[in-house]
Structure 1
Amino acid sequence: MTEPFHDVHGSGPVLLVLPGGAGHPMGLDGLIRRLAGCFTVVVLDPLGLAHGRLGRPVAEQRPADWSEAAHRVLDAVLPAGESACVLGFSSGAIAALELLARHPQRLRHVLAHEPPCVAALPDGRLRHEGFRAVYDTYRRAGLAAAGARLAAELDGLPAPEQAPGQPPAPGEESQTPMGVFLTRVLVPFSGYVPPAELPAGRLTLAAGTASRGQLPARTAAFLAERHGSRFLELPGGHLGAAEFPEAFADGIAEALATASVC
């Protein structure tokens, strides 16, 4: 079995980064450069989309798939008996929660930024049905319509009036990271409910200051309270790591230093 696709930057304690969306690390270059000044930053690309596999067929994904890929990468970069910190974004944050549940002995601390595992919320069935509607919108009317519906769901707004659109052509969903995310990641990942016994002392839930009131931030705050873990606000919104890479990276480094783990 080949090792999962990943890249390594910098030096220092190992910080494994699990990107969001379909796992493509696009938009994270500035953050990675900043973090690489004090960490060995290992970036997982679970589907190999940034390594020449974009456009190939992709099976439906599960958080366990990504967490096991992350565990294999940790085995490749860490000596036996050592542990690492993990930084996960969005769907990558969901995978980080599953990794903590499955392999806590390999993790010093997990920082999960806005994991949209909305099924865990008290109104989780309704919220998850909203994401299923995003998938259905993509299948019926294409990427632009699905993107508008997804934005409304994240903001907690009514479904927008659907503009005319066309169903994607056969195989089209595999041509872009967003297409892969909408069809292979969004529904199964948002339906994930973390187990109740996560080790709270090794978990920080985070959300952006600009995300207050939005669904992913509400989910992060709820999970922090449910698990008795720390809740942290970082610059920007759901894509704060791309919007304010240096300030975001500095917030990450400070949070891990405060926790005395990395």
Structure 2
Amino acid sequence: MLEVPGARLYYEVRGSGPLVVLVGAPMDAAAFEGVATLLATDHTVLTTDPRGINRSTVDDPDRDSSPEDRADDLARLIAHADAGPAVAFGSSGGAVSVLALAQRHPEHVRTAIAHEPPLIELLDDRAQLRANTEDMIATYLRGDHRGAWLLFLQNANIQLPDDVFAMMFGGPREGQSAADEHYQFAHMLRGTTYWRPDLGALTAANVEIGIGEDSTGQLCDRTSRALATALGTTPTMFPGDHTGFLDHPETFAATISALG
């Protein structure tokens, strides 16, 4: 655990060699265990639960988690590991955290790899996407978690078979998973998706954009391509979809090594 302003961060370190940081939001450290284990054969690998999620507790559970907060947390973890600068890989909301880290603390980042950051402010239909986001948050806070996830997937243009949706989102919410889900909808989603990157700062940094090969047409495919275009870079294709690192850890590990 690392004490930081307003939070206590759970983190794991494995392996030895150049530092790689693997980050999600709201995904916790466990989501990257497969990739981390593979990279640890010749890297020092740091994974963490973002503030407010699972084992990383916060002083004020009603305070929103911003990309800036999470970037500052990552900078403190990298300094604490004393092995930087790091190759920082982030997926989904974690990609936004990594981009904010590259902006705010470039001295800690050798390469920032942003895999499918959901930056809706880069899109022409951002007003509608904002309205959709407010609708899903309000639906969740009214107690309709199933309806909120239906709206979330519709907004993301992700289709799940009915049985898969029922397995993932149809049952009652309880324990830590319920607390993490509430924190995501109430305190992470808005700040993460509405974040506006500083394109000048990111152009000056070493930033790589990653997209899943199976994410074509999804919201995060669109946002990632918009960011790559704005930065004048060509995105790197990763296997799978938005959570491809779960099913293809070997390719993810190899691609992160190559990009870093």
The CA deviation at 1:252 is 1.9
Counterpart check, 1:78 vs 2:79:
no
Which residue of 91, 112, 115 corresponds with 1:113? 115
Q: How far apart in 1 are the matches of 2:42 and 2:253?
A: 10
Do the aligned residues in 1 keep the contact of 2:87 with 2:110 (CA within 8 Å)? yes
Partner of 1:6: 11
Do the aligned residues in 2 keep the contact of 1:203 with 1:230 (CA within 8 Å)? no
> Which consecutive unaligned segments of at least 5 residues does structure 2 have?
160-171
The CA deviation at 1:218 is 0.8
Partner of 1:151: 153
Which residue of 237, 240, 252 corresponds with 1:248? 252
Do the aligned residues in 2 keep the contact of 1:14 with 1:39 (CA within 8 Å)? yes
1:15-30 equivalence runs, <5 A? 15-21=20-26, 23-30=27-34
1:122-201 equivalence runs, <5 A? 122-155=124-157, 175-200=178-203
TM-score of the aligned structures, taking structure 1 as reference length? 0.83
Amino acid at match of 2:231: H
Do the aligned residues in 2 keep the contact of 1:173 with 1:183 (CA within 8 Å)? no
Q: How far apart in 2 are the matches of 1:50 and 1:156?
A: 25
Q: How far apart in 2 are the matches of 1:196 and 1:125?
A: 20
TM-score of the aligned structures, taking structure 2 as reference length? 0.84
Partner of 1:237: 241
Amino acid at match of 1:206: G
Q: How far apart in 1 are the matches of 2:55 and 2:35?
A: 19
Which residue of 104, 107, 122 corresponds with 2:106? 104
Partner of 1:223: 227
Do the aligned residues in 2 keep the contact of 1:70 with 1:99 (CA within 8 Å)? yes
SS at match of 1:205: strand
Structure-2 change in CA distance of 1:147 and 1:107 (3 Å)? same
Q: How far apart in 1 are the matches of 2:178 and 2:256?
A: 32
Partner of 1:94: 96
Partner of 1:259: none
The CA deviation at 1:255 is 2.6
Structure-2 change in CA distance of 1:192 and 1:98 (3 Å)? same
Q: How far apart in 1 are the matches of 2:213 and 2:179?
A: 29
Number of corresponding residues = 244
Q: How far apart in 2 are the matches of 1:39 and 1:127?
A: 39
Structure-2 change in CA distance of 1:122 and 1:198 (3 Å)? farther
The CA deviation at 1:243 is 2.0
- Structure 1 runs (4+) deviating above 3 angstroms are 171-176
The CA deviation at 1:90 is 0.7
Do the aligned residues in 2 keep the contact of 1:101 with 1:198 (CA within 8 Å)? yes
> Which consecutive unaligned segments of at least 5 residues does structure 1 have?
158-167, 257-262
Counterpart check, 1:202 vs 2:203:
no
Do the aligned residues in 2 keep the contact of 1:172 with 1:179 (CA within 8 Å)? no
The root-mean-square deviation of aligned C-alpha atoms, in Å, is 2.9
The CA deviation at 1:75 is 1.2
Structure-2 change in CA distance of 1:40 and 1:173 (3 Å)? closer
The CA deviation at 1:92 is 0.8
| Structure 1 stretch displaced more, 137-146 or 214-223 | 137-146
Structure-2 change in CA distance of 1:58 and 1:8 (3 Å)? farther
The CA deviation at 1:172 is 8.2
